[in-house]
Amino acid sequence: MRQTHRNTSSQCEAVEQVYDLTSADHALVCTPLFHVGGLQLILLPVLLAGGSVTLMRKWDKGEWIERSLAMRPTVTALVPTMMIDIANACAEKPITLDSYRVCMVGGSALPPGPLKRFNDSTGITCIRTVYGQTEQNGLCSTEPADETPRYLTMGKPLAQIIEWQVVDLDIMEPVAHGSSTVGELWVRGDALTPGYWNNPRGSAERFLDGWFRTGDMVTVDGDGYLYFADRADDMIISGGENVFPQVVENAMSLSPLISEVSVIGTPHERYVHQVTAIVVPAKPEVTIEDIAAWCREHPDLQGLQSPRRIEIVEQLPRTPNNKVDRMALRKLFSSSLPGR
């Protein structure tokens, strides 16, 4: 990935401004510095503001909790997996971490179930969803610090460094704000990479007339807040209908029976692909039928959005960046089962 000085400096300045970072801020950095979420999103902006940082050598939920209690940092950045770890560790004995004023969460979509458990077990309510990609050198959109957080949003794109539009891929035209149409997010601006290193084909595929095609399918409300639907290449076409795994995951994450869930498409004799939920149960005694019965009663899990196949695992496979490895799940569960 090509990266310019302007990419990094504009990104860090924008983060400093949007979160009102000052020399009084102290950041607890637990995300790796080889990742834009560790370097451009938290470390460099806090230092640019004159603040201080504490670096963790590796992720350890116990160390993060201990340092948060003892050092009283004001800023941190987590991925959903880390939030789940912390919530599980503090579930039986909740703590109060009232020093934080900014807790950024990104790297993958954050389902509502784990978010509530994290709030309840730590007392942290200053969560700001962040969205960005390596190509954007970190942050593209977030929830403004001076506005009330909105449910399941990606926030607003940073006007300082990002121009954006949501494009309906069926007609290749921008989607109007407030429309329910799902489109692909396209961006351009100072923070965006000039292209891929020694990969002209990749650059040609992802860049169109100066716009970078993110591959992320979103909707946009009347106030300019973005809402994540799914990755374009993760969408499941079942019985000729588009099903977004994130929508199914959001609904299933609310179940008290489920600790974590990832949804993929697997082969089906009639529907070609079926919605398949890979579940880490909240308790060992939870069965597939228990989960299926809960899903049948949920209003957002009807018709083709209902998981026709459910599998239980001890843990979900992860990439080095702590995201759920959907490719590994597809390989593991690619066999065709009758389903329903």
Sequential pLDDT tens for the chain (340 residues): 899 999 999 999 999 999 999 999 999 999 999 888 899 999 999 999 999 999 999 999 999 999 999 999 999 999 888 998 999 999 999 999 999 999 999 887 777 888 899 999 999 989 999 999 889 888 899 988 777 777 789 999 998 889 999 999 999 999 999 999 999 999 999 999 999 999 999 899 899 999 999 999 999 999 999 998 888 888 898 887 889 898 999 999 999 999 999 999 998 887 888 999 999 999 999 999 999 999 999 998 988 889 999 999 999 999 887 889 998 999 999 865 555 5
Looking at residue 178, its pLDDT comes to 95
Class of domain 235-332: alpha beta
Angstrom distance (rounded) from CA 174 to CA 172: 7
Looking at residue 339, its pLDDT comes to 55
The topology under which CATH files domain 163-231 is: Luciferase; domain 3 (2.30.38)
Residue 4 is classified by DSSP as: -
Task: List the structure tokens of 167.
Answer: 């494009």
Looking at residue 35, its pLDDT comes to 84
Angstrom distance (rounded) from CA 152 to CA 226: 9
Which CATH architecture best describes the domain 5-151?
A: 3-Layer(aba) Sandwich (3.40)
Task: List the structure tokens of 102.
Answer: 């900014």
Task: List the structure tokens of 309.
Answer: 């196949």
From residue 54, alpha-carbon distances to 129, 196, 331 in Å are 22, 32, 39
Amino acid present at 146 = D
DSSP secondary structure of 91-147: SSS-----S-SEEEE-SS---HHHHHHHHHHH----EEEEE--GGGTS-SEE--TTS
Looking at residue 19, its pLDDT comes to 94
Looking at residue 333, its pLDDT comes to 92
Residue spans of the domains in the chain: they are: 5-151, 163-231, 235-332
Helix axes 61-71, 80-89, angle to 10 degrees: 80
Instruction: For residue 229, give the nearest of 261, 186, 265, 184 by alpha carbon.
Output: 184
Amino acid present at 132 = G
